[in-house]
Structure 1
Amino acid sequence: MLTFDISERLRLTKLLVTLFLTTVISADELAAKEPAYLQACGVLGALKSNESPFCDGALIGGTQSNAHNCPQSFDPVQSLHFDDDLHVRWYARFWTGKCKGFGVFDFCVEEEGGWHQLVDEMSSLVPKVERPRARAELWAIGRMIGFEWAKRNHLRKISTEDLRDWYPMFRAEQNAWRAMRQLCTKAKNRLGI
């Protein structure tokens, strides 16, 4: 029987989550040098102006930049340091909506799509030329919110109740750029940044 210490289990869990999440993200989707969960609200120039299709920065986990410097693919776990394997599983749940690897006492409830679906919904509201930039900004917002929300309840600053309050407002807003600014502001206020 094989046995692994906790650091090896975490490394393997991260690898499995990376493989799982990167197979869910298409090549059409979505590059940054600060902690991923703080990398949102205009890091790519997305929230500064919606008159240009250009990205002004790099997104951690983003690769294969297009002609406008916007990442075309995205690895949501790159450079993140998780507290434990439960943190990794909840982070995967945030992105996918699926409860893979959870036990009965983890109280995970599945939902369709997770953040991936929200990225598709919101980026479809902007003109086609702006979509790569919108997707990059949405990926950054997702990393910030998802990484914090996935922590253990007594440690996290963004709760499930916050998500339940924010998502309907986010989805109801027809101006995607304004919706991203509002969501970013709410999340950063909760994080105290």
Structure 2
Amino acid sequence: MRLSRRQLATAAATAAALLAAPGWAMAQAGIEQSGAALLAARTLQFPVDGVKPEAVRDTFDDGRPGHRHEALDIMAPRGTPVRAVDDGQLVKLFDSKPGGLTVYQFDPTSRLAYYYAHLDRYAEGLREGMLLRRGDLIGYVGTTGNAAPDAPHLHFAVFLLGPEKQWWKGEALNPYSALRAVR
């Protein structure tokens, strides 16, 4: 992989700042590293039926109006089943303007939050507080929220949770490698 001069300069400046910064900056860098390691240690199920992991493009760093995407868009026909990637508790069903019909699920340790968005509808009987098993049906691919009506997809994100375990907050982790490793 070849980096641009700007990317090299940014990386060098970041590294220098971390080395010169107070301990909290180093601790934050360690948190991000531990989040990636925690995600890599999970054995995930691919969330969308019929889509091969190698067909997914890494859209995590893609730009969106005013922010970085911080998720993967997994394209599939409307109504394609969406499955829980891991065991854990369903902590929130939410209908938001940007994400449409969404599901927030914690991993078994409550350190990671899995976010599924733009669902067409939820699976029958889905409710907050229930325990999900890896592979359970949670909903169906759609275009709710700010998704283009002609581009049904699952917007899938993973967050490292802070000590407060707030489902709507966390450090975004790129799930691309973890999902590509699914067999």
- Fold match by TM threshold 0.5: no
The structure richer in strand per residue is 2
The structure richer in helix per residue is 1
Bigger-Rg structure (1/2): 2
User: TM-score w.r.t. structure 2 length?
Assistant: 0.29
